[in-house]
Amino acid sequence: MAQLLEYIKMALYSIKSNKGRSFLTMLGIIIGISSVITIVSIGSGLKADVMATDETKSVSVIVNKDATSYTNIITWDDLKAVKDNLGNKAIGVVSSGATMGTVTTRKGEFDASVTLTMPDEEKNPMQTSIIRGNYFTEDNVLNADSVCVIDKASALYLFGTPDVIGMELEATIEGVLQTIQIVGVRDSDEELMKANDEAMKMFGMEMPVFLEMPYTAAENWGSQIEDFSSLTIYLNGGDQANAATKSAIQTLSARHLGEGEELFVKQQEMNMAEAMGSVLDMVTAFVAFVAGISLVVGGIGVMNIMLVSVTERTREIGIRKALGAKTSSIIVQFLCESAIISGIGGVIGILIGAGLSGLISVLEIGGLSARLSPTAIVLTTCFSCGVGIVFGIYPARKAAKMSPIDALRQL
Amino acid sequence: MISIKDMHKIYNPGENEVRALDGVSLEIHEGEFVAIIGHSGSGKSTLMNMIGCLDTPTSGSYFLHGKDVSRMTDNELSDVRNQEIGFIFQGFNLIANLDAIGNVELPLIYRGIDRKTRRAAAKQALIKVGLEKRMTHKPSEMSGGQQQRVAVARAIAASPPVILADEPTGNLDSKSTKEIMQILEGLHKSGRTVIIITHDNEIAEQVKRVIYIRDGRIEQDYLNEEKQGE
């Protein structure tokens, strides 16, 4: 093994004496490695961004349809018990439903999207805040009051002003005409509104009016809503998701003893961030694979140059063999050379890739951010040395198999 | 120490076969100073390849120091070349991008000798050929005579018992030729077996024993009269 050091020295010496050519050989590897590093960095940067924007803010527990035939078994008291037991893990617990209706004003008739929910819906972290008035209260729920919270865009649309507290709406829901008093205005997400608006225009529809009402208001149009089949917990921080789910299921199970096993389960929802993350992973892997092809091309470049080098150095090989170099010595010498060339190329490529990633992050080109991935660095380093060795084997064997007399005879 | 019996080397067996060696038998003892002479195509280079373990014969046997070399594998031959034989070639055959000491070190590297010992031995060898001032010069920075002296230093650095010189003076002027011959003579006097392959009768005259090869056979094997007296 002490010999190996000698072969490495020989290889370094030979690379040094052919600087220009060695660099050109490295170029393929440099380009390949730096593009793989840059792409993987951008990929993981994007993924981190996506993940950061969408941590888990709510979890839902549903009645297991496989365990019972009648699924509306979660009561108002159940909700309260769940909320009490959650303590500071949660900021709110709601069960909600939805229905459609129409709102009539002097301007005409508009579709309405009605969410039937509970006071805790105010705390929904995915929703905007209340900017006028107040959310409806528990009393409103208990009295089945005909009150609503309207969103700002709808208010502007219907009345031309967001100051609509105390105003009344004429609405037909489930065929029953009723008067609903506005108690609060929820801010509208401008971008979302714009996007919705455009989509609606494109399909020739008008945007519905968004109303949130106490779930008991359904009684006013003849629907009976007493119990629920699901509940949603608004979390006090994303890391509480599992604990909150567990606590809620325990509470509910304890309150519904004897009604069956595994009555309540966590709702399997497709997490947007996870979905986006896995799509990004796939795209990154694909593009990195394409960039990886350039590594293979680079490797072939190394092989090509090594073959030329073997031909050029036939005489040197002959001399070395005459002086006692074994087949293995020559193979190791040439393998060292190709591995070092591609290894150095790899290191330069990593530096360039890291530099590019940093530059992209700093300049925010195209809003991209890049995160240098240690895994990518380790993998590409191994890969570039591997490329050198794999593509060096053929030239090295060719060199080593030369007979010393044939090699010496060449001039 | 060198014992060749009925050695044949046939190239292109079949229609156009070339009998480069056609039944050569030869004994060379330790400490001899031998010239193998012959015209080009006589088979002397093939014989030198055989003696130098660079090639294996088609048939016949070759014992070097009692070991049957003719049946060895390539790797075993590499070891024999490294330990038993020091080569000097007509074209010097130095590695261009290594300096003088780097070239002289090569056989020692392949023998697996550590760096310190190696350097010392290489320096000693260069001093012996009078190149102590040119150790870090590259071959391109030296004259032909100096390059050949580096080659001689390389051949003796690992102290092999046999020095095999193939036309060592073929590319040299008369002054350098004289220097190289003196060095070879010195090596012989210090107990080494020196074998020179040449077509130059003048060189052959300076050597004790002359083996004349023609058409792959030994035609004459005689001792130089004038040298015999010494």
Cα atoms found within 13 Å of the Cα of residue A322, Cβ hemisphere only: 33
Place of tokens 């087949």: A327
Task: Reply yes or no on whether the pLDDT at B227 is more than 70.
Answer: no
Q: Which two three-digit tokens encode residue B38?
A: 């012959």
A406 versus A29: the higher-pLDDT residue is A29
Q: State in Å, rounded, how far the first CA of chain B is from the last one.
A: 23
Is A320–B111 a contact, with Cβ atoms under 8 angstroms apart?
no
Q: What percent of chain B has pLDDT over 90?
A: 54
- Distance between B227 CA and the closest CA of chain A, angstroms: 32
Query: How far, CA to CA in Å, does A261 sit from each of A67, A82, A256, A264?
Result: 7, 19, 10, 9
- Residue where a domain terminates, one of A207, A240, A270: A270
The residue of chain B with its CA nearest to that of A402 is B74
**In A, which residues are within 8 Å of B111 by CB distance?**
324
Q: Does B192 touch chain A (CB under 8 A)?
A: no
pLDDT, position A1: 54
DSSP letter string over A180-244? EEEEEEE---HHHHHHHHHHHHHTT-PPPEEEEEEGGGGGGGT-----BSEEEEEESSGGGHHHH
Interface contact flag, B110 A327, Cβ < 8 Å: no
Tokens linked to A196? 């919705």
What does the alpha-carbon distance between residue A26 and residue A30 come to, in Å, rounded to a whole number?
6
A265 and A282 share one domain:
no
Tens digit of pLDDT for each residue in B121-139? 999 999 989 998 999 999 9
Do A43 and A86 fall into the same domain?
no
Q: How far is CA B165 from CA A394, B40, B92, B145, in A?
A: 34, 16, 10, 15
Question: Rounded to an integer, what distance in angstroms lies between the CA atom of residue A8 and that of residue A11?
Answer: 5
What are the distances in angstroms from CA B130 to CA A207, B105, B124, B174?
A: 101, 16, 10, 18
In this predicted structure, the answer to whether residue A223 has a pLDDT above a threshold of 80 is: no
How confident is residue A176, by pLDDT bands cut at 50, 70 and 90?
Answer: confident
Chain A residues with CB inside 8 Å of B53's CB?
A: none
In chain A, % of residues over pLDDT 90: 6
Nearest residue in B to A328, CA atom: B75
Q: Do A205 and A309 belong together in one domain?
A: no
Domain check: are A134 and A264 in the same one? yes
| A60 bridge partner residues | A232
Check whether residue A137 and residue A14 sit in a common domain.
Answer: no
Judged by CB atoms closer than 8 Å, whether chains meet at B55 and A408 is answered as: no
Examine the pLDDT at A240 and tell me if it is beyond 90.
Answer: no
For residues B223 and B207, what is the distance between their CA atoms, to the nearest angstrom? 8
A114-124 residue pLDDT tens: 888 888 888 88
According to the model, what pLDDT value does residue A358 have?
Answer: 87
Cβ proximity of A44 and A371 under 8 Å: yes
Q: What is the pLDDT of residue B229?
A: 46
Q: What is the mean pLDDT of residues A182-192?
A: 86
Mean pLDDT of all residues in A153-163: 85
- Measured at the alpha carbon of residue A30, what is the angle toward residues A25 and A32, in degrees to the nearest 5? 110
DSSP strand pairing (A176-186 vs A130-133):
antiparallel
pLDDT band (50, 70, 90) for residue A66 = confident
Q: What is the ipTM of this complex?
A: 0.90
Q: How far apart are CA A194 and CA A22, in angstroms?
A: 57
pLDDT of residue A28 exceeding 60, the answer is yes
B78–A327: do the CB atoms touch at under 8 Å? yes
Q: Where does a domain end: A254, A270, A286?
A: A270
Residue A385 above 70 pLDDT? yes
Residue A74 and residue A210 in one domain: yes
pLDDT reported for residue A268: 66
Residue B226's pLDDT is 57
Q: Among A244-248, A274-278, B9-13, B87-91, which is the least confidently predicted range?
A: A274-278
Mean pLDDT of B100-105: 93
Q: Best mutation site among B79, B88, B95 for testing chain A: the one with the most A CBs within 10 Å?
A: B95
The token duo for A277 is 């993350």
Q: Is B95 on the interface with A (CB under 8 A)?
A: yes
Q: Are residues A366 and A259 in the same domain?
A: no
pLDDT (0 to 100) of residue B142: 93
Report which DSSP code applies to A136.
-
In the predicted model, what is the mean pLDDT of residues A385-410? 84
- Alpha carbon dihedral A310, A315, A318, A324, in 10-degree steps, equals -100
β-sheet bridge partners, residue B154: none
Nearest to A388 by CA among A302, A293, A307, A291: A302
Cα atoms in the Cβ-side hemisphere of radius 13 Å centred on B72: 19
Partners of A13 on chain B (C-beta within 8 Å) are: 97-98
Which residues in chain A are contacts of B91 at CB distance < 8 A?
411
- A chain contacts of residue B107, beta-carbon cutoff 8 Å: 323-324
In chain B, the domains with their CATH numbers are 2-95+144-228 (3.40.50.300)
Bridge partners (DSSP) listed for residue A177? A172
What's the gap in Å between the CA of A387 and the closest CA on chain B? 27
Nearest residue to B78 (alpha-carbon basis) of A229, A325, A312: A325
Nearest by CB to residue B93, choosing from A326, A403, A408, is A408
Rg (CA), chain B: 17
Pairing of strands A264-266, A58-63: antiparallel
Interchain CB distance below 8 Å, B154 and A323: yes
Chain B partners of A403 at a C-beta cutoff of 8 Å?
54-55
Say if residue A253's pLDDT is above 80. Answer: yes
pLDDT category at B84 given cuts 50, 70, 90 is very high
Please indicate whether, in this complex, the C-beta atoms of B75 and A327 are within 8 angstroms of each other: yes
Q: How many CA atoms lie within 13 A of A81 on its CB side?
A: 14
Task: Give the residue, A125 or B30, on which the prediction is more confident.
Answer: B30
Radius of gyration of chain A (CA): 35
- Look at A322 and B54 and tell me if their CB atoms are within 8 Å: yes
Considering only alpha carbons, which residue of chain B is nearest residue A314?
B95
DSSP state of B43: S
The whole-angstrom separation of Cα A11 and Cα A16 is: 8
With an 8 Å Cβ cutoff, is B72 touching chain A?
no
Q: In the numeric block, which tokens belong to residue B154? A: 């390389």
Residue contact B82–A13, C-beta within 8 A: no
Q: Is B11 on the interface with A (CB under 8 A)?
A: no
Rounded Cα distance between A35 and A298, Å, is 12
Q: What is the mean pLDDT of residues B59-68?
A: 90
- First-to-last C-alpha distance (Å) of chain A: 33
* Shared domain check, A45 and A63: no
Q: What is the pLDDT of residue B30?
A: 92
Residues A255 and A322 in one domain: no
Q: Under an 8 A CB cutoff, do A13 and B98 touch?
A: yes
Task: Determine contact: B81 vs chain A, CB below 8 A.
Answer: yes
The structure's pTM equals 0.66
**Nearest residue on chain A to B92, judged by CA atoms?**
A319
Same domain, A183 and A249: yes
- CB A173 within 8 Å of CB A99: yes
How many domains, chain A? Answer: 2
With beta carbons less than 8 A apart as the criterion, state whether A242 and A144 touch.
Answer: no
Q: Kindly determine whether residue A323 and residue B106, on different chains, have CB atoms separated by under 8 Å.
A: yes
A283-335 pLDDT tens trace: 888 888 887 888 888 888 888 888 888 888 888 888 999 998 988 889 998 89
Contact B75 A3 (CB under 8 A): no
Of the candidate ranges A203-207, A350-354, A389-393, B76-80, the one whose mean pLDDT is the lowest: A203-207
Q: How far apart are CA A92 and CA B214, in angstroms?
A: 109
Residue with tokens 């779930």: A215
Cβ contact (<8 Å) for B110 and A411?
no
pLDDT band with cut points at 50, 70 and 90 for residue B92: confident
Reported as type and span, the H/E element at residue A43 is helix A19-53
Q: What tokens does B153 get?
A: 């230093």
Please report where in the chains the tokens 């570039």 appear, as a residue: A384
The reply to whether A128 and A261 lie within a common domain is: yes
Query: Containing domain of residue A45, as a range?
Result: 2-52+274-409
SS3 A318: helix
Contact between B160 and B84 under an 8 Å Cβ cutoff? The reply is: yes
Compute the distance between CA of residue B155 and CA of residue B137 in angstroms, rounded to an integer: 18
**Least trusted range by pLDDT, from A76-85, A98-107, A138-147, A274-283:** A274-283
CA gap B125, B156 in Å, rounded: 7
CB within 8 Å: B79 and A326:
yes
SS3 B58: coil
Q: Is the pLDDT of residue B181 over 70?
A: yes
Distance from CA of A20 to the nearest CA of B (A): 15
Residues A265 and A291 in one domain: no
Tell me the average pLDDT across B61-66. 91
Least reliable range by pLDDT among A218-222, B93-97, B149-153:
A218-222
pLDDT-above-70 percentage for chain A: 95
| Partners of residue A6 in chain B, C-beta under 8 Å | 109
For A192-214, write each residue's pLDDT tens digit: 777 777 777 777 767 788 899 99
* H-run or E-run covering A94: strand A90-94
Task: Specify the 3-state DSSP secondary structure of A167.
Answer: coil
* Residue that finishes a domain, picked among A270, A299, A329: A270
Interchain CB contact of B87 with A (< 8 Å) = yes
A395 pLDDT above the threshold of 50: yes
Q: Is B89 on the interface with A (CB under 8 A)?
A: yes
B79 part of contact set with chain A, CB < 8 Å:
yes
CA dist., res. B101 & res. B124, Å (int): 10
